[in-house]
Structure 1
């Protein structure tokens, strides 16, 4: 991926990881469009930044995604990079019958959202020079958090989908996976100040440094996520699963 001169769309770009990456990519000399549900949050994220734009998007609606894709291409025909970042995380108890609304919403946002957005923009991206798609997954794609089983499953699914997408688009669109560790954001209540989670600014700085490598890695992995990403290959899967399960039961989530 080239470092500057891109036109980049980031879903879920009004807060957290999306906002931090959007602002750093903008600082690097890129035009950045952030998309999300809340206009006021988006406007705050782009305040005072030339060539940074905000567009509202309901990532859960297939029709809204299709309409959004037409609108963003019309407004920003140079769009060449898509960052599928929008996501939600809900905790759940698998040990008893429960309302599945949270699980179903997680699948719609985290799995169907990126698939639909990629589908809506793929023909446009293929026609652009230096095109790239980033799918944001999680360390939990590789070792699940039992307390957030559906979230973990959607991230594992997007990891798999990204591998297939990369092969299908080889030579046409660069496909990159970004798998964050636990980062201090508002993804879940209290997470912004949770001890042991990576500070957001530190994470974003590390990601930008990795993006500066040539060639761009297929997987963007900061040091803190390697405990989970490499657990199975290094024969530590059961220990890693036990460790993050214990952390959650001890109040770590």
Structure 2
């Protein structure tokens, strides 16, 4: 993926990793469009930055996604990079029958949202030079957090989907998976200052350094993610799963 001269669309660009990525790519010399449900938060992302634009889009709305390309491509015909970043994380108790609203919302946002965005824009992207799709997954795609089961499963599904997408789009659109570790963002309550989580600015600096590599790695995994990514390969999965889920001291 080129480091500058792109026109990049970032979903979920109103806060957290999406906002920070959009601003970092803009600073590197790219035109960037951020989308999200709340225009006010998007305006905060783009404030004072010429060449950084906001467009409202709810990735849970299938009809809105289907109609989105006509608008965004008309305004930004050079669009060549899609970053599927929008996502939610909900904690769920699986120990008994429950309301499945959180599970459904997670699947629609984290899995169907990116699939629909890719489907809506893939023909346009395939016709562009230096086209890329970046799918944001998680370290939890490789070692799940039991308290967030559908979130972890949705990210594992996007990891698998990205592999298939890369195989099918080979030679036309570069497919990159970006798998964050635990980062200090607003993804869950109190996470912005949670001890042991990677500061957001540190994470973004590490990510941008990996994107600067030539060729760009197919998987952008910073050091804190690699233990999760390689857990199965290295025989550490059971230990890391127990540690992550507070079971390390259980018999």
Q: Normalised by the shorter chain, which TM-score bucket?
A: over 0.9
User: Using the alignment, how far apart are the partners of 1:73 and 1:143 within structure 2?
Assistant: 38
Counterpart in 1 of 2:211? 211
Superimposed CA distance per residue, residues 22-73 of structure 1 (whole angstroms, 9 cap, x where no aligned partner): 0000000000000000111000110000110000001101100011222111
Q: Secondary structure at the match of 2:14?
A: coil
User: Using the alignment, how far apart are the partners of 2:247 and 2:40 within structure 1?
Assistant: 35
User: Using the alignment, how far apart are the partners of 1:129 and 1:37 within structure 2?
Assistant: 29
Counterpart in 2 of 1:86? 86
Counterpart in 2 of 1:58? 58
- State how 1:135-146 maps to structure 2 within 5 Å: 135-146=135-146
User: Using the alignment, how far apart are the partners of 1:94 and 1:231 within structure 2?
Assistant: 25
Counterpart in 1 of 2:111? 111
Superimposed CA distance per residue, residues 57-112 of structure 1 (whole angstroms, 9 cap, x where no aligned partner): 01101100011222111110000000000000000011111110000000000000
Counterpart in 1 of 2:134? 134
Structure 1 gap ranges (5+) = 249-253
Q: Secondary structure at the match of 1:233?
A: helix
- The size of the alignment, in residue pairs, is 249
Normalising by structure 2, we get a TM-score of 0.98
User: Using the alignment, how far apart are the partners of 2:173 and 2:129 within structure 1?
Assistant: 9
Superimposed CA distance per residue, residues 123-170 of structure 1 (whole angstroms, 9 cap, x where no aligned partner): 000000000000000000000000000000000000000000000000
Counterpart in 2 of 1:251? none
1:200 aligns with 2:227: no
Normalising by structure 1, we get a TM-score of 0.97
Counterpart in 2 of 1:16? 16
Q: Which consecutive segments of 4 or more residues in structure 1 shift more than 4 A?
A: none
Q: Secondary structure at the match of 2:228?
A: helix
Cα RMSD after superposing both structures: 1.2
